[in-house]
A and B are shown apart, each in its own frame.
Chain A
Amino acid sequence: NAGVTQTPKFQVLKTGQSMTLQCAQDMNHNSMYWYRQDPGMGLRLIYYSASEGTTDKGEVPNGYNVSRLNKREFSLRLESAAPSQTSVYFCASSEAGPRGTEAFFGQGTRLTVV
């Protein structure tokens, strides 16, 4: 049982390049999330998917797009990377319903945009 798996673990991009961060969970969770973590700012929600087929913006969605490919997979795309998107990105998942608030996190992707 791997939990939440993110790829890649590290990435360096040049300004203007695009890339997709991949996330998969094997806990049969309905809801999935993408966060970014910056020094002194904690975890901020970028996008989430409450269930398969739905996606919604979080606190900091600008510059990102997401795709809920199926129940297991939720990807985050940077169409034109900017230095301000240098961060550590975490994918998370949770059950729906009354226990839906506990989030299970992946190990993170450290992205540097130069």
Chain B
Amino acid sequence: GENVEQHPSTLSVQEGDSAVIKCTYSDSASNYFPWYKQELGKGPQLIIDIRSNVGEKKDQRIAVTLNKTAKHFSLHITETQPEDSAVYFCAASKKGTGANNLFFGTGTRLTVIP
């Protein structure tokens, strides 16, 4: 099965700085890589995703990059704000096979210091 590793486990940044979270995966057949944000007391929520035929995707202050050769992908948050503080999870799967084949990383707790 798929093995997803995520680093770092905790990350603190000053407001306005950038934050980068990195993940690696093991199954070369994985082709869909979502990122979920989990705020305190809530369930994870999809914030951005990328497919294997794309190297980078941006959505306002959030971007994800993918290197299929090296089997790693990263989440980049620019101009961080206190409301970005949350736990972020990366995941990998083969798109279209159902969320039962969605494998999660262990999470990164991001703290943005005002």
Contacts and interface: CB of A to CB of B under 8 A. Distances in A.
Interface residues of A, number: 29
Contacts of B95: 98, 101
Interface string B84-103: 00000100010111111110
A108 B89 contact: no
Contacts of B32: 101
A105 B44 contact: yes
B67 interface: no
Given A40-B106, A42-B106, A43-B89, A50 B44 contact: no
Contact of B46 (A31, A33, A96, A102): A102
Interface string A84-114: 0000001010101111111111111000000
A50 B42 contact: no
Interface in B3-46: 4, 6, 9, 32, 34, 36, 41-46
Interface of B: 4, 6, 9, 32, 34, 36, 41-46, 49, 89, 93, 95-102, 104-107
Contacts of B46: 102-104
A102 B96 contact: no
